[in-house]
Structures are given as structure tokens and as C-alpha cells.
Amino acid sequence: MGRMTKSEFSPESILSTLIETCVKAGASGADASFGRSDGVSVEVREGKFEGIERSESQGVALRCFFGQQQASVSGSDTSPEGLSTLAERCVAMAKVVPEDPYCGLAPKEDLATDMPAIDVTGDGEIATEILETDALAAEAAALDVDGVQQVSGCGNGWSTSERWVATSSGFFSHRMSGSTGLGLAAVAEKDGAMERDYESRSVRRLEDRPSPEEIGRIAGERAVARLAPRKIKTQTGAVIYDRRVAGSLIGAFLSAISGPSVARGVSFLKDQLGEQVFADGINLVDDPFRLRGMGTRAHDGEGRAVSKVNLIDNGRLTRWLLNGSSAKQLEMAPNGYASGGFGSTPGVGVSNAYIEAGAKSPAELMKDVGEGLLVSDMFGPSINPNTGDYSVGVAGFWFENGEIQHPVSEVTIAGDLPGMFKRLVPASDLEFRGTRDAPSLLIEDMSIAGE
């Protein structure tokens, strides 16, 4: 194989030369990616600037096929010699690995050709003075909350990245993205006992982020609200997941409809395609085109088109999340849910998934059920993927007569996800903050283990 020259250093030519090198060596196909990122983060403590860290990186990844044999390699050396060595290593590995009957590139006719413009570029570099000023303002706002003793950490930063991807079947795409994030943890104290809580926000553009004072105030108020927690009796009752933790149930659902999980038979929903999985009226949407969304994308991890769809439509499960490999295993058509990919084996994932808001506020739901547990923090859910049996340690607040009475801790809630999904009632407080968003969610008849 020939060595690459300095004239081939643009990202496009790096990818094309890597792919061509594999094809010339007899590969039946190849794909590759080249990416670079940059970012700065600052930390403040006790009203003073504490530190700054800048990270810069770049790397290339290559995957090649010899029939049903595939191998992937990656590295950070983008010199001509380094790239040639990478290609040679990938070819050598692919020739000796066992066959995978389900691997392969997306055929040309499946590739996205009309990709929409997406606004995910962010602000680019943000002046360090702005990062520091905002972090200090957030810390000060948290400390101004009566009962807050200290802020254990306050960070602010920005990041940008670019990624070029290409395949031997003719697909090429370039993406620029950026974001900024501010977060802190506040510690409150009462009678020698301490409680900790946090708030953080990450957005594509600074203009979409709440003020640092609001972020700091929320962190402080959350910490103070947790002071003097009590234990509650073991019982069966209503649980309301606050919207900041409700998205975890979306994650559990997505794992259960993942094509690879269904193909392996390790999903409690494996026989439920087209069936009523949630209550009537519930919609769970995946929107890859959300303006400035944290999961927004123009194509999937294999170059296929993506679209806004209801994964749950009026309570019914409409599809599995399929990449090329899992689609072949299930003898179905891929549907745009490959993730990662381009130089590595694709996984499966969505973009911006959310449960649509309901009609009633969290306060109205609390009033409707009378008493129960409002969950505001969670610790390591345990889920049996085959049965959906579910349990998780939580902290939050006990409410009676529709009103919050006191904080609680050292509680475990449990149930079975199939039954929980069918009883789930969304509140009206949906807020788009990440890639898995949900309003507060009421689920009655949960097992609540206290004392």
C-alpha cells in the first residue's frame, strides 16, 4: 500500500484515501470518520477563580469489510505515515476475524440524500471572563439562599466539535456542533446535619440558558428543601417522578425497544410491537430536527435518513429501534436509529425523545391522589431486562392532601415496568433540556419500601 502525501491532509481527503486504501487491498467496503474538538472549563470556589482547563483533541476511525468479516481501528496520529499504518492494520485484522453474518454498510439506495439544515453549531469560543463571571454569580446566588453553608463545586464551560464521515458506498457528511454548560452543587446545614443538591444546564447557545443567578438559586433551594428528612412506612402508594428524574423511565423504555435487545430476546417488550404498551392518549416522540436540540441530527450512524416519529402513538408501540445489523437479524427494514458508526460498529439510539405533556400540573396530580411520594433524586435503578422488574433507591418529599409535608430519604420504590407504563400519567410541566425529556410522571400502586 502506498504512503499518503502531505497534499492529502484535508479531512475529506484523509477519509477518501483511507477508504481507497482498504478497497485497493481487496476490501468489499469501508467507512471512516475524522473528528476534532476543543473546549474550555473553569472552576470557582469561595468567590475566587480556582482553575481553568482547555482540552483539544482529534482522531480518526476506520472500519473495513472483507465480505462478512469486519474490523475497526482508531487513532490520533493523522500524519501520512500514521494514517497508512492505521489502514494497513485494519485490513490485516479484517482478514482474520470470524464472520459476522449481519454486518455491512448501508447500501447506496438507503443513504440519506436530502438532509435538512440543523442549528447545533453553538456559540463557538466563549470568553474566559464571561465563564468566570457567570460561575461566580451562580455560586453567590446559591450562597444567598438561607441555610446554604457552602458550594462544593461550580463549573462553567464551552465545547465545540467537528466530524466528517464517509463510506465507500458514496456517503459523505460534515457536522459542526457546540454547547455550553453551567452547573453547581450546594450544601445546606441544619442542626449539624447536611444535605446536598445541584442544578446544571447545558444548551447549544448561551442565549437559551437561564441566568446564572437562577441556576444558583435553584441549587441552593433544592439543598435546603432536603434538610431534616424523615423515613416513611413501607406501603403501596402513588409515586410522582419529578421532571428532572422522569426521563430515566424513557431510557428504560428505549432499552426495551432496542433492535439488538429484541433480536437477542432480552426485552420485556419483545412480543409487544403494535400493542398497547402505555395508556390511551400517551405519545412518546423522537424528534431529530428540534431547533438547537442536544440530540439533533441530520442522519443516523449509518447514513440513513431520520424523521420525527411517535415511538408510542396513542399508547401503542409503533417500531423497534433498528440499525442495519439488528434489522437483518429480525428480518425487517432498517429505520434510521443507528448511532455512532462510521469507523466503528454502529449501536442503536434515538435523537431527542420525549413524552408529550399531559393536561394537569404536578400540583393537580398530587391533589387528585391525595398522598404519596414525590421523587426528586434517584440512585442506581435495577432493571431485569427480561421481565421488566424494577427497583431504585430514591429521595424526595412526602405529600398529603395534595401538599408537600416533609423531605424523605432512604426509600426504595419498586414495580414492574410493563405495568408502570400502562398506569403512567404525564403532568403538564414538560421542559426540553436534554435528549430524554419528560414532564413529571404519576404512577399509582407502586411498592414503597421505608421502615
pLDDT of residue 428: 98
pLDDT of residue 196: 96
Cα(397)–Cα(121) distance, integer angstroms: 39
Which residues have CB under 8 Å from 98's CB, separation 6+?
A: 69
- Grid cell listed for 288: 431529530
Tens-digit pLDDT string for the chain (451 aa): 344 444 347 999 999 999 999 999 999 999 999 999 999 999 999 999 999 999 999 999 999 999 999 999 999 998 888 899 999 999 999 999 999 999 999 999 999 998 888 999 999 999 999 999 999 999 999 999 999 999 999 999 999 999 999 999 999 999 999 999 999 999 999 999 999 999 999 999 999 999 999 999 999 999 999 999 999 999 999 999 999 999 999 999 999 999 999 999 999 999 999 999 999 999 999 999 999 999 999 999 999 999 999 999 999 999 999 999 999 999 999 999 999 999 999 999 999 999 999 999 999 999 999 999 999 999 989 999 999 999 999 999 999 998 999 999 999 999 999 999 999 999 999 999 999 999 999 999 999 999 8
| Cα angle 100, 102, 106; round to 5 | 120
Cα(211)–Cα(182) distance, integer angstroms: 10
* Helix residue spans in 336-402 (DSSP H): 362-369
With contact defined as beta carbons under 8 Å apart, do 164 and 174 qualify?
Answer: yes
Q: CB count, 10 Å around CB of 50?
A: 14
- Grid cell listed for 202: 447545558
Residue 51 identity (one-letter amino acid):
G
pLDDT of residue 80: 87
Residue 86 identity (one-letter amino acid):
L
Cα(4)–Cα(237) distance, integer angstroms: 67
**Count of residues for the chain?**
451
Helices (H) and strands (E) in the chain, counts: 9, 19
pLDDT of residue 4: 41
Cα(272)–Cα(367) distance, integer angstroms: 34
With contact defined as beta carbons under 8 Å apart, do 279 and 422 qualify?
Answer: yes
| Cα angle 177, 178, 181; round to 5 | 150
**Domains of the chain and CATH, by start:** 6-38+46-110 (3.30.2290.10), 128-225 (3.30.2290.10), 235-249+357-449 (no CATH)
Could you say which DSSP state residue 109 is in? Answer: G
pLDDT of residue 397: 98
**Pairing label, strands 441-449, 284-286:** unpaired
With contact defined as beta carbons under 8 Å apart, do 112 and 184 qualify?
Answer: no
Residue 370 identity (one-letter amino acid):
G
pLDDT of residue 117: 86
- Grid cell listed for 267: 426485552
pLDDT of residue 9: 75
Cα(241)–Cα(245) distance, integer angstroms: 6
With contact defined as beta carbons under 8 Å apart, do 308 and 283 qualify?
Answer: no
Residue of 415, 418, 437, 412 lying closest to 426 (CA atoms) = 437
pLDDT of residue 356: 98
pLDDT of residue 1: 39
For 88, 388, 398, the CA distances from 413, given in Å and listed in that order, are 53, 14, 13
The 3-state DSSP class for residue 62 equals strand
Which residues are bridge partners to 72 per DSSP? 63
The pTM of this model reads 0.94
pLDDT of residue 115: 87
